[in-house]
Amino acid sequence: MAELEEFDPETSADLIQQKLPTIHSVLSAIIGLDAAQKQNEDEPEASQEQEDSEDDQPREDDTATPHFQLHGQRGRPAVVSSCAHTLLFARNSRCNRWPMQLSVDLVGARVPRRSCELLSRLGFIGFWRSSQRLLENMAKDDHARVKRLVRLPSSAISLSYDNVNWQRGVRDKRSEKKQQMMAAICGMAYLLDYKAQYDESQPICCDELFKSIFHPDVPRPSASEPSPMNPLDEQGRSIAMKRSLYDDARAKVKLDDIKLSQFFPGRAEEEHFLEVVVSHAIRAWVDLHDDSGVDTSKIRQPPQVLPFLPQRTQTMGLPVLNEDEGSVSGNIAVIYAYLKFLGIDDDARCGTHNLPVVADALTVGHVRSALARRVHDKSTNPKIDQLQFLQPMAAFFHLQYNFQKYWIDAHAGTAQHQSKISARVLCDRVGMKNLCTGGTDFHDMDAFLKMLFAALVDAKVTPVLQSAETKALDHGDPEDADLLCLHTREMFRDTAIYLELRDAVKTGDPGRVMAASKFTVPRFAATGHHRYSSEVLDMLVQVRFELPPALVTTILCATLVNHAGKKDSWFAADLDIEHQVNELKNIFKVTGGSDAVARGHIGQIITPL
């Protein structure tokens, strides 16, 4: 242990340069050691004298720029010593598992096949086909684990899937089309076993707000002990998965009991949103002013509604399907395929269990159309063919992305008629003119809205703190109102709504998402985003009227994922599917086979890794 503690990468790199000069030269060239830097290292005194003779004044070009300046990266000696020890360890004849493990890692990291075959012939890694067999066995073991978990009476499972689209060249001279759009399905299953508990050191929402969002029988979390979001009955079975409770709860709902005003922000939502804006504004101002001396840990967070405790999400990979969920019939085929894979495609189980499906608004809309189309099916297996066991729920990531589009539509205006604070002018000022040209990049728009919110807060708060006095703004006659100020206020309010959606998902509080979504309904409807306006209304109706209390908390668990199991590491379930789709697209590029989906090895790679 003493020798390991005294290990120095620079000393190891010097020994490798003395004993293994060829390997040291190759590794140095690979990691980016150019000739100019090498010459400066060999002759430092000569170069210094030459620079002093040319110019005695300091210049910006004189400072040497290291190759490894990104956060978290090691220096050149550490990289050289690590790679050299890895190669030597791989060549050790006594270590048989190391080459195979390295080959599996390279295949999972999408290293091309030719490169892996070359390394295997040199003896550094295992053979390509052996890695494929190992990955297939890992996929089979993982699929068996998924099937066992699904059949447990205490398990509550949700499905999430999305399309994987790519273009493939058409090898047909008779066709004028040179590219053909292909599609496959990437899916994941999640085990819903979160717990909720209030933090006594942070604000908690009022009872009026909680009752205006959720079903009256939904129990509030306590600050003393965690509350399970998937409650079990006396026999140890999941209450949320019982189909009979859902049928009874939906039968009790009457149209006269549902009022449209309940889905729009009221007094409780406005008071809650005021505390949210103040909390976000304080944090934004403190982040801009590091010299303020304010401890960020003591800043009051937004009021808690239904906070989940940090917990690692149990994800279960599903095989890639050669289907297309861009239509109603395609979604029905996807549901049937996954039911068959999970082994729950029997009519008796589908008649007694629920199955939550969390996806984007387009997929959820197709699933709802499938439910309406199959409600009167008269087949020999009516319970499974009617699809009434499905519980669709719109996910939160696409809700945030669509709210970004609303923000652009509401505040960008037209290219001909621009104000001084329109979104087009502001985006152009900060070098993000592309945000108003059509395709909206989520990360660029997210950075712009955070920057705009912080700028508005700083412009308003800093002068007030300097003068230590405030004045109420009186517009007087509506015809002489300060429209520029009113537009700024509305832009600030919309930006705060978006930041609350983002922060609520990050902290793992779907209750805050539901409270903020009430503010999005009229905004989506006013700008023509009717799909998400209707989906938000469906979400509010589900958690307030249709679903039984146990299913309300369980289906909200299906909307959030936490792979790290840490605080503030939550993200939306549909964003997790988007990550899987991105990984699959990279694997498609490497394999390049036209029958890759039919053979199924793509899903076997992405599922265990």
Rounded to an integer, what distance in angstroms lies between the CA atom of residue 324 and that of residue 328? 10
Rounded to an integer, what distance in angstroms lies between the CA atom of residue 152 and that of residue 344? 12
Choice among 343-357, 394-408, 464-478 with the minimum mean pLDDT: 464-478
Max Cα-Cα span within the chain: 94
What is the amino acid identity at position 539?
M
pTM check: above 0.85: no
Cβ 317 vs Cβ 605: under 8 Å: no
pLDDT tens digits for 376-416?
A: 888 888 889 989 999 999 999 999 999 999 998 888 877 77
Cβ 344 vs Cβ 350: under 8 Å: yes
Cβ 510 vs Cβ 306: under 8 Å: yes
Rounded to an integer, what distance in angstroms lies between the CA atom of residue 206 and that of residue 221? 12
pLDDT tens digits for 44-97?
A: 444 455 545 445 444 444 444 444 443 344 567 777 777 777 677 666 556 567
- As a whole number, mean pLDDT of residues 561-573 equals 92
Cβ 320 vs Cβ 185: under 8 Å: yes
Using a pLDDT cut of 70, give the percent of the chain over it.
79
Choice among 110-114, 191-195, 503-507 with the minimum mean pLDDT: 110-114
Tokens standing for 488? 């700024």
The pLDDT assigned to 511 comes to: 95
* Residue for token pair 């979001």: 229
DSSP character string of 155-190: --EEEEEEEEEEEEE---TT-S-SEEEEEEEEEEEE
Q: Average pLDDT, whole number, for the chain? A: 80
3-state secondary structure at position 390: strand
Choice among 48-57, 240-249, 316-325, 566-575 with the minimum mean pLDDT: 48-57
**Residue 580 — pLDDT band, cuts 50, 70, 90?**
confident
- As a whole number, mean pLDDT of residues 353-377 equals 91
Has residue 121 got a pLDDT over 80?
A: no
pLDDT tens digits for 436-451?
A: 877 778 888 999 999 9
The pLDDT assigned to 550 comes to: 92
3-state SS record for 534-582: HHHHHHHHHHHHHCCHHHHHHHHHCCEECCCCCCCCCEEHHHHHHHHHH
The pLDDT assigned to 551 comes to: 93
SS3 content of the chain, % helix, strand, coil (to 5): 60, 10, 35
**Residue 29 — pLDDT band, cuts 50, 70, 90?**
confident
Name the phi and psi angles at 189, rounded to 5: -115, 145
Cβ 127 vs Cβ 149: under 8 Å: no
The pLDDT assigned to 58 comes to: 44
CA 551 vs. chain centroid, Å, equals 23
Rounded to an integer, what distance in angstroms lies between the CA atom of residue 340 and that of residue 351? 16
DSSP character string of 187-241: EEEEE---EE---TTS-B--HHHHHHHS-TTPPPP-SSS-EESS-B-TTS-BSTT
Rounded to an integer, what distance in angstroms lies between the CA atom of residue 586 and that of residue 446? 25
* Length of the chain, in residues: 609
Cβ 396 vs Cβ 501: under 8 Å: yes
Q: How many Cβ atoms from other residues are within 10 Å of residue 515's Cβ?
A: 27
**Residue 177 — pLDDT band, cuts 50, 70, 90?**
low
Could you give the C-alpha distances from 43 to 40, 46, 50, 584, in angstroms and in order? 5, 6, 11, 49
Greatest mean pLDDT among 124-133, 396-405, 464-473: 396-405
The pLDDT assigned to 595 comes to: 47
Has residue 505 got a pLDDT over 90?
A: yes
Sign of CA dihedral 192, 195, 201, 206: positive
Tokens standing for 595? 């029958």
Q: Which of 144, 224, 190 is nearest to 395 (CA)?
A: 190
3-state secondary structure at position 356: strand
Burial class (CB in 10 A: 0-12, 13-18, 19+), 277: buried
